[in-house]
Amino acid sequence: MLGQVQQLRPRVHPIWEHTPDGLVGRLFTRPTPVKLAHLAASPYVSCSYWDPQHEVAVAECRAEFEDDEETRKYLWDLFAAAPEPLGFDPKILGGEDHRDPKITVLRLTPWRLSTGGEAWRAA
């Protein structure tokens, strides 16, 4: 997923966690009309990671909004406490705090992960 923040540099990075439901990624995003329409039409996104040695990892995911206050607060605190570059001040997205309607949480549930020629698919 790609987003634009300060200085027009792309920066959207989910925090990935192992949960009782399996691997889950979550990120803050702006609920723009275009994004809402795209995800309503097809709830699938792709997250790609690349490094200077040309190592690539791709997470193909089902995306859904997870907008309850408990999740918002948990993720806000998680991003604020994580070391850079993963961690950041969530206020850069335009929200004053985790309750601000200008931002929402997007939950990513991978159905396919690939890296270095290897791939995993959800059952």
Q: Report pLDDT for 2.
A: 44
Measure the N-to-C terminal CA separation of the chain; round to a whole number of Å. Answer: 24
**Predicted TM-score (pTM) of this structure:** 0.83
Q: Report pLDDT for 119.
A: 81
The tens digit of pLDDT for each residue in 63-75 reads: 999 989 999 999 9
Q: What is the DSSP string of 50-70?
A: E-TT--EEEEEEEEEE---HH
Strands (DSSP E) found in the chain: 15-19, 22-29, 44-50, 56-65, 104-115, 118-121
The tens digit of pLDDT for each residue in 47-66 reads: 888 878 888 889 999 999 99
Average pLDDT over residues 101-106: 91
Domains of the chain and any CATH numbers: 6-116 (2.30.110.10)
